[in-house]
Chains A and B, each alone.
Chain A
Amino acid sequence: MELILNFIENNLAMITILVLATFVGIEIIAKVPTVLHTPLMSGSNAISGVVVIGAIIMILKADDADYITLVVGSLGIALAMVNVVGGFAVTNRMLEMFKKKKK
Chain B
Amino acid sequence: MGKEIIDFLYLISIIIFIIGMKGLSNPATARKGNLVAGAGMGLAILIALLTPMLAGTAVSMTKYVFIIIAMAIGSGVGLVASKRVAMTAMPEMVSLFNGLGGATAMLIGFIELKNYAPEGVAGKLAAVAGHADLFTGSVFSSVFALFIGAVSFSGSLIAWGKLNGSLRDNIKLPVPQIINVTTLIAVFVLSYLIMAGNEMNFTLLIVLTIVSLFYGVAFVSPIGGGDMPVVISLLNSFTGIGATVAGLIYGNNIMIVGGILVGASGILLTILMCEAMNRSLISVVIGGFGASASSASGSGREEVVKEATPSDLAIQLKYSERVVIVPGYGLAVAQAQHVCHELEQVLETEGVDVKYAIHPVAGRMPGHMNVLLAESDVDYDKLMELEPANDAFNNTDVVLVIGANDVVNPAAKSDAGSPIYGMPILDVEQAKNVVVFKRSMGTGYAGIQNPLFFGDRTKMLFGDAKKSLGKLKEELANA
Instruction: Tell me the A residues contacting B by CB distance below 8 Å.
Output: 3, 7, 10-11, 14, 17-18, 21-26, 28-60, 62, 64, 66, 68-102
Contacts and interface: CB of A to CB of B under 8 A. Distances in A.
B111 A68 contact: yes
B74 A50 contact: no
A17 B253 CA distance: 8
B425 interface: no
Interface of B: 17-18, 20-22, 24-27, 30-31, 33-35, 37-38, 41, 44-45, 48-49, 51-52, 59-60, 62-63, 66-67, 69-71, 73-75, 77-79, 81-83, 85, 87, 90-91, 93-94, 97-98, 100-101, 103-105, 107-108, 110-112, 114-115, 135, 137, 149, 229, 232-233, 236, 239-240, 242-244, 246-266, 268-269, 272-273, 276, 360, 365-368, 370-371, 374-375, 377, 379-380, 385
B60 to A, nearest CB: 5
* Interface hub of A11, A51, A71, A92 (most chain B Cβ within 10 A): A51
B59 A82 contact: no
**Most chain B CB inside 10 Å of its own CB: which residue of A33, A39, A57, A96:** A39
A14 B8 CA distance: 15
A30 B268 CA distance: 8
Contacts of A3: 135
A75 B260 contact: no
Contact of A43 (B37, B85, B90, B229): B37
29 contacts: A29-B269, A34-B360, A36-B24, A36-B27, A37-B273, A37-B365, A37-B367, A41-B365, A43-B37, A45-B94, A45-B262, A48-B236, A49-B101, A50-B41, A50-B44, A51-B105, A51-B242, A52-B48, A53-B255, A57-B252, A59-B63, A70-B63, A77-B71, A80-B101, A86-B97, A90-B93, A92-B35, A98-B30, A98-B371
A29 B268 contact: yes
Contacts, number: 361
A49 to B, nearest CB: 5
A10 B137 CA distance: 10
Contacts of B259: 48, 50-51
A55 B68 CA distance: 12
Contact of B246 (A38, A51, A68, A71): A51
B191 to A, nearest CB: 15
B90 A85 contact: no
Contacts of B272: 32, 37
Nearest to B261: A25
A76 B98 contact: no
A79 B41 contact: no
A38 B70 contact: no
A41 B62 CA distance: 36
A92 to B, nearest CB: 6
B37 A46 contact: yes
A58 B242 contact: no
Contacts of B97: 42, 45-46, 49, 82-83, 86-87, 90
Contact of A41 (B75, B111, B252, B269): B269
Given A25-B263, A35-B367, A86-B77, A51 B255 contact: yes
B239 A51 contact: yes
A55 to B, nearest CB: 6
A2 to B, nearest CB: 11
A83 B367 contact: no
Given A25-B263, A30-B268, A96-B31, 14 more contacts: A25-B264, A41-B269, A46-B97, A47-B240, A49-B101, A50-B41, A55-B108, A70-B63, A74-B69, A79-B103, A82-B77, A82-B100, A90-B82, A101-B374
B83 A89 contact: yes
Contact of B25 (A28, A79, A83): A28
A98 B104 contact: no
Give the top 5 A-B pairs by smallest Cβ distance, nearest first.
Answer: A81-B74, A25-B264, A86-B78, A85-B78, A89-B82
Which of A10, A25, A26, A32 counts the most B-chain CB atoms under 10 A from its CB? A25
